[in-house]
Structure 1
């Protein structure tokens, strides 16, 4: 699902307590009050080469003692990449720069094995 990131069980770099400051809390909305606040803007990809580098570095994320930690970091980075290509404009940009080709090159082995997904679940 490209709409919401699936970060369940993944180590995060930010504490949940710091996601929203108390000064920015909005009062509860009344039924006859219009919500005129703009939604937060989607990130725009300015340098598609950076996204491709992130994708190319994804398989090289390793940890000497903890394979789970390495896997969590890989999932976290893949969720970041997925969040960057959520909107259509960024999808077009990345398709023009060969994201699909790179993705197929990097994930060829995992995609070719039908049982690979079940092994890591």
Structure 2
């Protein structure tokens, strides 16, 4: 919860926050569930555990490293941040959304999934 509190404290109050978790169980512990209920601007979208969505995030950072950071020299953190922000803006000019091939409600661990009865 310390991590969530840090995010909450350091993010402008007018912004909502989407938490993408690596494991569905991560945010279902009683303590985290209670904390999230008390902080309604935090949203936890369902992410199927059987898909490699995290690989997409890692791949994006790999692209950032390969295409931008390895070819750059920065004399300050501010310069590095500006360079990364410019690269992100350039990427976003021709961005394409990732589309799941399986809907969340069809995933066996989805909370609203109806399991077959025998």
TM-score, normalised on structure 1?
Answer: 0.25
Q: RCO higher in 1 or 2 (8 Å CA, sep ≥ 6)?
A: 1
